[in-house]
Amino acid sequence: QVQLVESGGGLVQPGGSLRLSCTASGRFGNIADMGWYRQAPGKERELVATVTRPGTTNYADSVKGRFTISRDNAKNTVYLQMNSLKPEDTAVYYCNAQIQPFYGAKYIQKWGQGTQVTVSS
């Protein structure tokens, strides 16, 4: 059973930085796209950034120029470097990945458990 395990959330002052990590563990085949989403209180979950296996990235307009997504395929890990954080970035951040349960299987969507990011003075 594959799991996505996130780490790196916390409390940071406006203008500060945080780095989130998410690692796929367990038994599985290939991993295609990986990404980060977030959900603020009272709002719907929204895309933050995605990265393909070769490294092509996509960002929400609200985080362009401040956040950087990257991945290490050898470690089955995706990262989100968040700089110049704003109070409106406060949310639970969820890792997402398209994973084969085993080699040759259809890709399924997996979610991490979420990690809280709070930007406040």
Contact (Cβ atoms closer than 8 angstroms) between residue 42 and residue 49: no
pLDDT of residue 1: 84
Contact (Cβ atoms closer than 8 angstroms) between residue 56 and residue 71: no
> Residue 27 — pLDDT band, cuts 50, 70, 90?
very high
> Residue 95 — pLDDT band, cuts 50, 70, 90?
very high
User: Pairing relation of β-strands 31-39 and 108-111?
Assistant: unpaired
54-72 residue pLDDT tens: 999 999 999 999 999 999 9
> Residue 34 — pLDDT band, cuts 50, 70, 90?
very high
How is residue 107 annotated by DSSP?
A: P
pLDDT over threshold 90, residue 40: yes
